[in-house]
Amino acid sequence: MEKRFICGRCDFTAGYHYKGRQPPFANSIMLLEDCYIMKDPFSTFGGFITIGGNCSLCFKDVCVSADCSLFYTQRFCLKCAYLNLKEFPKTLQQEILSRTNWDDKS
Ligand SMILES: [Zn+2]
Ligand SMILES: [Zn+2]
């Protein structure tokens, strides 16, 4: 049975097969975070696609698109990354700023 992932930032939505760190259909893979995983329809040997995760601060579902989230030891939505900019290393701060030049930062 397929469940539905909806990104809390963009309109991206997709079916997913598993949420967690160890997809049962992928052999001995341990992910760094709980992810929304979909089986790779083109793979015959346990391939999968990570489509999103939870922001570790606001717990929103966010997709892995560069416009929605980033991964730095944990996943952060870009809004939380922006609000906590000082917690990130300098190079990443620039990256976050370049990704977050929206008019509305709400
Ligand atoms: Zn998104
Ligand atoms: Zn967040």
Instruction: State in Å: Cα 13 to ligand 1 middle.
Output: 8
Residues with CB under 5 Å of ion ligand 1 are: 7, 9-10, 12, 63, 65, 68
User: How many helices and strands, by DSSP H and E, does the chain display?
Assistant: 2, 8
Per-residue model confidence (pLDDT) at position 55: 98
Ligand nearest to the CA of 36: 1
Residue 98's pLDDT is 93
Please report, rounded to a whole number, the percentage of residues in the chain having pLDDT higher than 70: 94
Per-domain residue ranges of the chain:
3-77
CA distances from 23 to 18, 40, 81 (A): 6, 12, 27
CA of 59, nearest ligand number: 2
CA 65 to centroid of ligand 1, rounded, Å = 6
12 C-alpha to ligand 1 centroid (Å) = 5
Give every residue of the chain whose pLDDT is below 70, as ranges.
Answer: 1, 102-106
Residue-level pLDDT at 46: 82
66-90 per-position pLDDT tens digit: 999 999 999 999 999 999 999 999 9
Render 37-61 in DSSP notation, one character per residue.
EEE-TT-SSS-EEEEEEE-TTT--E
* Mean pLDDT score of the chain: 92
For residues 54 and 99, give the distance between their C-alpha atoms in angstroms, rounded to a whole number: 19
The model's pTM is 0.86
